[in-house]
Chains A and B, each alone.
Chain A
């Protein structure tokens, strides 16, 4: 039992990663990953929302009337997202401007509702909380990987600091402009899924 609870945290990180295996939440993965910092903040925001929505709805699960189940989920998720948005605006204003509408759109992020429906409504609070954290971190980890490559190759910086030395540019190196556009995120996600599947043979379809 203890092992199983722990697995709900670790599974979504790799074996059942929401982006790489469940292919959920791709849209925001394209939009907020041109730089590492917004990708990281977005990952943490989704983790917070996913963890608390799972926890709250798991606690409420026996009292929620079936007919308004989805509405209750939406109210809880929307309230959490509004709080996260307010906190970001108060403490990391510049990042919150960069993320703009995508923070609000966490409400519609399929990972959150997907986990609530698939897991929290039929499990106890603790595993649900861990499942939420695991899925949020699994999502965030992929975002950070994509953000790392896009910022490095597209702008030559990491977290806004120049990492590709000036002499490279003098020798003729140029930043890859494609990396600043959404299609590059799809390409990188594709490559990550490819690597991930070749490392996990059991995920491959026959």
Chain B
């Protein structure tokens, strides 16, 4: 069949509408197929990235998640409510909702009782998130990893650099047993202040968001941290078993 005559020729309106409709439907089917067939692999990559971020905050090497980490969920009272490791990881994909529902994921290093808790918050433009690892005293920060969706490169986005995150180890989130979080100080934290770090120059809003995120998210775990500390101080032999 020659193109001429079909729907009134190549440049007729009918042909153009027909052509674009067919094209768009074909392309949509093709893209949907690609997206669906690669989805599981992509999700696995994202999950691996989260696992690597968790072990990175503990200073462990990439890929060692399965070897070291025990994941469980606690509630606002600090009681363990679920020990399903896979389900705990899945909670990271919608952290704000789970936090609001009172479900707080914890990732514990089986070897030495250090724990990693996830953080979620808002920067200037978009979401920011991260992980803070605490030493077994549930007070001293072992390491911190932050990331962001769309902070300004060179300014707010600096929170995702190793150099910025290097300020966090050895800081303490409790002051004489009272929760204080980590203060992010514009103009620079005082030398030797163990509860404060420097803000990002030119990234005030991101820094504010970071401070709020650390305070809000860590305070959700307050009861859990206190229970852990109390358990560690009690003269009984510490058990790695999780109490019901």
Residues on A facing B (Cβ under 8 Å): 62-68, 71-72, 75-76, 79, 82-83, 86-87, 89-91, 93
Whether A87 lies near B3 (C-beta < 8 A) is no
Chain A contact residues, majority secondary structure = helix
Taken together as a complex, chains A and B put the C-alpha atoms of A71 and B15 apart, in Å, by 15
Residues of A within 8 A of B242 (CB): none
Whether A71 lies near B31 (C-beta < 8 A) is no
CB distance from A59 to the nearest CB of B (A): 13
Contacts A63-B3, A75-B24: A90 and B38 contacting too (C-beta < 8 A)? Answer: yes
CB distance from A84 to the nearest CB of B (A): 10
Residues of B within 8 A of A79 (CB): 27, 30-31
Residues of B within 8 A of A71 (CB): 20
Taken together as a complex, chains A and B put the C-alpha atoms of A66 and B23 apart, in Å, by 15
Whether A91 lies near B41 (C-beta < 8 A) is yes
Whether A90 lies near B41 (C-beta < 8 A) is yes
Q: Does B34 contact A (CB under 8 A)?
A: yes
Q: Which of B1-54 contact A (CB under 8 A)?
A: 3, 10-11, 15-16, 19-20, 23-24, 27, 30-31, 34-35, 38, 41-42, 45-46, 48-49
Taken together as a complex, chains A and B put the C-alpha atoms of A64 and B41 apart, in Å, by 36
Residues on B facing A (Cβ under 8 Å): 3, 10-11, 15-16, 19-20, 23-24, 27, 30-31, 34-35, 38, 41-42, 45-46, 48-49
Whether A65 lies near B15 (C-beta < 8 A) is yes
Contacts A63-B3, A82-B31, A86-B42: A93 and B16 contacting too (C-beta < 8 A)? Answer: no
Closest 5 CB pairs of A and B: A93-B45, A90-B41, A90-B38, A65-B16, A79-B27
Whether A65 lies near B42 (C-beta < 8 A) is no
Contacts A75-B24, A90-B41: A65 and B19 contacting too (C-beta < 8 A)? Answer: yes
Whether B15 lies near A89 (C-beta < 8 A) is no
Taken together as a complex, chains A and B put the C-alpha atoms of A64 and B10 apart, in Å, by 8
CB distance from A157 to the nearest CB of B (A): 16
Residues of B within 8 A of A66 (CB): 10-11
Residues of B within 8 A of A65 (CB): 10-11, 15-16, 19
Taken together as a complex, chains A and B put the C-alpha atoms of A62 and B4 apart, in Å, by 12
Residues of B within 8 A of A72 (CB): 19-20, 23
Taken together as a complex, chains A and B put the C-alpha atoms of A86 and B39 apart, in Å, by 8
A sample of 29 inter-chain contacts (CB < 8 A) reads: A62-B3, A63-B3, A63-B10, A65-B11, A65-B15, A65-B19, A66-B10, A67-B11, A68-B16, A72-B20, A72-B23, A75-B24, A75-B27, A79-B27, A82-B31, A83-B30, A83-B31, A83-B34, A86-B35, A86-B38, A86-B42, A87-B34, A89-B38, A90-B38, A90-B41, A93-B42, A93-B46, A93-B48, A93-B49
CB distance from B32 to the nearest CB of A (A): 11
CB distance from A169 to the nearest CB of B (A): 18
Residues of B within 8 A of A83 (CB): 30-31, 34
Taken together as a complex, chains A and B put the C-alpha atoms of A170 and B224 apart, in Å, by 48
Taken together as a complex, chains A and B put the C-alpha atoms of A76 and B38 apart, in Å, by 20
Closest to A64 in B: B19
Residues of A within 8 A of B46 (CB): 93
Residues of A within 8 A of B30 (CB): 79, 83
CB distance from A47 to the nearest CB of B (A): 19
CB distance from B242 to the nearest CB of A (A): 32
CB distance from A81 to the nearest CB of B (A): 11
Taken together as a complex, chains A and B put the C-alpha atoms of A62 and B3 apart, in Å, by 9
Closest to B24 in A: A75
Closest to A76 in B: B27
Residues of B within 8 A of A87 (CB): 34, 38
Whether B42 lies near A90 (C-beta < 8 A) is yes
Taken together as a complex, chains A and B put the C-alpha atoms of A76 and B30 apart, in Å, by 11
